[in-house]
Amino acid sequence: MARSSSNLSVKQEKAILALLTHGSVENAAHAAGVGVRTLHRWMQEDDDFEAAYRAAKREAYGQSIARLHHLSSAAVSTLGKVMLDPKTPPATRVRAADSILNHTTKAIEVEGVEERIAELEQAVEDAKPGATRHLGLAS
């Protein structure tokens, strides 16, 4: 974990890492070398600690999402192989096909939502006083 811009102590930074890697607050406190009550107090009352912990969780989550993106191609290939293999039981082939269709539908829906959000964000920017109107001209 990179040193944050907040005023965290080394023990607090260790505690954040421990919270991300251990199954409970008690185990994290033990691993970080702090008391359980101290860790709970930091989590509930220390704004810098809370902000740094939230940021660390977001970063860890982002890394997990990146891993999912990396593995998604292999997952789709696996589903495709199962679906197309005539030796696979029919129920399993249907389930693989259904999974592919469901995920494709969700992906199309997400792309549509992202496009609409981008259009709304652009409309908000264009509506701000002093904003140059988007005329579709190349600059």
Domain ranges of the chain: 6-70, 85-128
Q: How far apart are CA 57 and CA 15, in angstroms?
A: 13
What sign results for the dihedral spanned by CA atoms 89, 94, 95, 96?
positive
* The token pair that represents 40 in the structure block: 């709970």
- Report CA-CA distances (Å) from 137 to 34, 87, 116, 128: 60, 56, 21, 19
3-state DSSP call for residue 48?
helix
HSE value, Cβ hemisphere, 13 Å, CA-based, for 72? 12
Q: How far apart are CA 52 and CA 3, in angstroms?
A: 10
At 29-41, the pLDDT tens digits run 999 999 999 999 9
pLDDT number for residue 21? 95
Nearest to 80 by CA among 65, 101, 110: 101
Q: How far apart are CA 4 and CA 99, in angstroms?
A: 41
At 8-61, the pLDDT tens digits run 999 999 999 999 999 899 999 999 999 999 999 999 999 999 999 999 999 999
Q: How far apart are CA 100 and CA 79, in angstroms?
A: 7
pTM of the model: 0.57
